[in-house]
Amino acid sequence: MKSEYVQKENGLYILSKNDIENIADSVIREYAPQNLERPTSLDTIDFLENYLGLVVKCKYIGPFGSKILGLIVMSDIVEIPSYDDMFKPVILEETFGNILITPALYNIDQYTRRRYTQMHEGAHFILHKAYYGRKNENLRNRVGDSSSYIACRSVELNKTKNITDNDWIEWQADALAASLLMPMNVFVNYTYKIMSKNGISGKYISVPETFSEKKRLNSIIADIANVFQVSCKAVQIRMLNLGIIKNTYRYT
């Protein structure tokens, strides 16, 4: 991260949407500049392991029944509650830079969600090393010490009041993951191309009202999702955030 971005005293960067887009552009330009020229899928494992130097593992996270999808270790050594294939409690000893992804995301129908979760954890590493580095100063790692790792659940935050540092951390990681998987300029240009192909002129899509309009928009979203190897929901959110879809529309 460049020093040009303002940090709070605790090390957390204060970032706007444009800042996130610029960070993603800079990272992709260095790692895979061709991804800024044409729509394609990002090799998430190569990016995490060979570019960022992280280690990705398939491990159960938390006690049995936990809804934690992914986790990244932000301390030298940390012990994490888990369970084995026989559902017996175990303690995992993990080290700095290890990413754990729950086996539930390794089902074939969870492929795009797994890719997004992987990049979400990688985004934490890019954006939040300084924050967790300061948070861990003078702290002794303990079993379940949440200051030593970032565990991400399948819960979506949607609030405008009483926003905490943890809320901002998750928002930043989500935004950067989306921008890395779907770089803004190439995403927008490809989306306009597919819209035009489907008979939609202009720079945005209004909320569809008829069955045929919904079917057409769903087809556009599915086409884009296939090219970038992300979920239709991720494409829809990206289109909404970039103002291509006006108002709320839910892919069905």
Asked if residue 117 lies in contact with residue 57, where contact means CB atoms within 8 angstroms, the answer is no
- CA–chain centroid gap for 58, Å, is 17
Residue with tokens 């108002």: 247
End-to-end Cα spacing for the chain:
38
Across residues 234-250, what is the average pLDDT?
84
* Half-sphere exposure at residue 189, Cβ-oriented, CA atoms within 13 angstroms: 10
pLDDT at 160: 53
Residue 68: closest CA among 48, 45, 92: 92
How far apart CA 165 and CA 144 sit, in angstroms, is 20
Q: Looking at residues 109-127, what average pLDDT do you find?
A: 96
Q: How confident is the model at residue 138 (pLDDT cuts 50, 70, 90)?
A: very low
Q: What does pTM read for this prediction?
A: 0.89
75 or 224, which is more confident: 224
Rounded to the nearest 10 degrees, how much is the dihedral formed by the CA atoms of 25, 27, 32, 37?
Answer: 0
CB 176 within 8 A of CB 24: yes
Better-scored residue on pLDDT, 52 or 137: 52
Distance, in Å, from the CA atom of 143 to the CA atom of 149, rounded to the nearest integer, reads 11
Dist CA 99 CA 246 (whole Å): 36
Residues 6+ apart with CB under 8 A from 158: none
**pLDDT at residue 122 above 90?**
yes
Distance, CA of 61 to CA of 180 (rounded, Å):
25
Give the H/E segment covering residue 56.
Answer: strand 55-58
Mean pLDDT of 154-178: 77
What is the C-alpha separation between 197 and 188, in angstroms, rounded? 14
